[in-house]
Amino acid sequence: MPHDPARVERIKENLAQARARIDAACAKADRDPAGVSLIAVTKTRPAEDVRILASLGLTDVGENRDQEAAPKAAATADLDLTWHFIGQLQTNKARSVASYADVVHSVDRARLARALGDRAEAAGRRLTCLVQVNLDGDSRAGVLGPRGGVDPADAPELADRIAEHEALELGGVMAVAPREGDPYPAFGRLYEVSCLIRDRHPRATAISAGMSSDLEAAIERGATHLRLGAALLGDRGPIVG
């Protein structure tokens, strides 16, 4: 079935606007836009949106719930996509996620790393994992629930655990900015954690930071991967689940 032309046009415009924001932020930070990769976050969106994004050349796709990601990845298996799992992950979902994900951004404990590695190995796959770092300054759940992530002080050790698993590749770090306050110091902190980890693992260069509302701050603080949902596909409405 051909794509809905209006939807294609809308996503194309959104993509052009997002790229303009990325270019402007890179110019300000004196960075090459080629060093900033774009991941389209397609949660709550139909597989058809994934197809439209691919037709526009965007083949890096992010999802935060296995229940939604697994069928969407299966429905688009004919496309050559790279799937990024970006949400909090229970260990009992490791088998499913390891079967379709290429990159897991949200590894925040050694037990999860081991489960993902063992499941990937059993499936004959290799998984790139990022250490999710908590930037809230308090890793306990806030009123709006936990955001996930390891304490910055514990991130290097978790990176070592990932790197030593045969089936895992340590890709770098990931974080979500605190809900309130200035994202610049938070992303600055993430950059420092990245430097510490790169001292021991020089190839772990990915810094996954920056969403629709804070991509400029992320780029100015060294992000290499942006995870954009609303900016590309429109508002999702009230958050559920």
Q: Where on the chain is the footprint of ligand PLP (CB under 6 A)? A: 41, 43, 64, 86-87, 176, 211-213, 227-231
Select 162 or 175, whichever has its Cβ closest to ligand PLP. Answer: 175
Do 150 and 136 contact (CB within 8 A), yes or no? no
Region of 47 on the Ramachandran plot (φ > 0 left; ψ -120 to 50 alpha; else beta): alpha
Strand, helix or coil at 51?
helix
Select 51 or 227, whichever has its Cβ closest to ligand PLP. Answer: 227
Select 36 or 211, whichever has its Cβ closest to ligand PLP. Answer: 211
Residue among 43, 76, 58 at smallest CA distance from 8: 58
Cβ at position 57, least distance to ligand PLP in Å? 19
Residue with the CB atom nearest ligand PLP in the bound state:
229
Cβ at position 124, least distance to ligand PLP in Å? 28
Residue among 100, 109, 5, 97 at smallest CA distance from 56: 5
Secondary structure percentages of the chain, helix, strand, coil, to 5? 45, 15, 35
Torsion of CA 46, 52, 56, 59, to 10 degrees: 40
Cβ at position 229, least distance to ligand PLP in Å? 3
Quote the CA–CA distance of 65 and 19 in Å, as a whole number: 26
Cβ at position 44, least distance to ligand PLP in Å? 9
Cβ at position 59, least distance to ligand PLP in Å? 17
Select 37 or 123, whichever has its Cβ closest to ligand PLP. Answer: 37
Select 207 or 228, whichever has its Cβ closest to ligand PLP. Answer: 228
